[in-house]
Amino acid sequence: MAEETKFEPKIVAFLCNWCTYAGADLAGTGRNQYQANVRVIKLPCTGGIDPLFLIKAFERGADGILVSGCHPGDCHYNSGNYHARRRWNVFRPLLEFCGINPERIQFSWISAAEGGKWVETINGVVDTVRALGPFEGYQKINTIGPDASSESSQT
Partner 1 sequence: MIEALRKKAEELLRSNTVDVIYGYGEGSTPERTRPVFITKPEDVNKLIWNKYCVYNLTTYLKRQESRKLGKPAIVVKGCDAKTIVVLIKESQIKREDVYILGVTCNGVGEPLATKCKACDVNTPRIYDDLIGEKIENKEIPFDERYAELDEYEKLSEKEKWDFWQKQFAKCIKCYACSSICPLCFCDRCIVDKNQPQWIDPSAHPRGNLSWNVTRAYHLAGRCINCEECQRVCPADIPLNLLNKKLAKETEKNFNYRSGYNIDDELAMATYKEDDNQDFIK
Partner 2 sequence: MEKTLKKENFNSLITGLKDQGYRTIAPKKDNNLVTLDEVQSADEIHLDHVQTNNSIKEYFLPKTEKILSYTLEKNKVSIEEPEGFAVKSVVFGSRPCDAASLPIMDKVFNWDCSDKFWVERREAITIVTIACDKCDNYCFCTSVGLAPDSKEGSDVLLTKISDDEYLVETVTEKGEGLIKGLETVFSDPVAGTPDRQVASVEKKFEIDKIKPWLDENFAHKIWAEFSMKCISCGACTFVCPTCHCFDIVDECTMSKGDRVKNWDGCQFKMFTLHTSGHNPRSTQDQRWRQRIMHKFKYYVEKFDNILCVGCGRCSRVCPADMNISEMLEIIATEENQKE
Give contact residues for partner 1 (rule: CB under 8 A): 51-52, 55-56, 59, 72-73, 79, 82-83, 85-102, 106-109, 121, 124, 137, 140-142, 144-146, 148-149, 152-155
* Helix, strand, coil percentages for the chain (3-state, nearest 5): 50, 15, 35
Among partner 2, partner 1, none, what binds residue 151 when CB lies within 5 to 8 Å by partner kind?
A: partner 2
Q: Does residue 4 interact with partner 2 by CB under 8 A?
A: no
Q: What are the two backbone dihedrals, phi and then psi, of residue 91, each rounded to the nearest 5 degrees?
A: -70, -40
User: What is the C-alpha separation between 131 and 103, in angstroms, rounded?
Assistant: 10
Residue 80: alpha-carbon gap to chain centroid? 18
> Cβ closer to partner 1: 37 or 81?
81
Q: Does residue 155 interact with partner 2 by CB under 8 A?
A: yes
User: Considering the complex, what minimum distance in angstroms separates the CB of residue 85 from partner 1?
Assistant: 6
Among partner 1, partner 2, none, what binds residue 72 when CB lies within 5 to 8 Å by partner kind?
A: partner 1
Do residues 113 and 26 lie in contact, with contact meaning Cβ atoms separated by under 8 Å?
A: yes
Write the DSSP symbol of residue 14: E
User: Considering the complex, what minimum distance in angstroms separates the CB of residue 54 from partner 1?
Assistant: 10
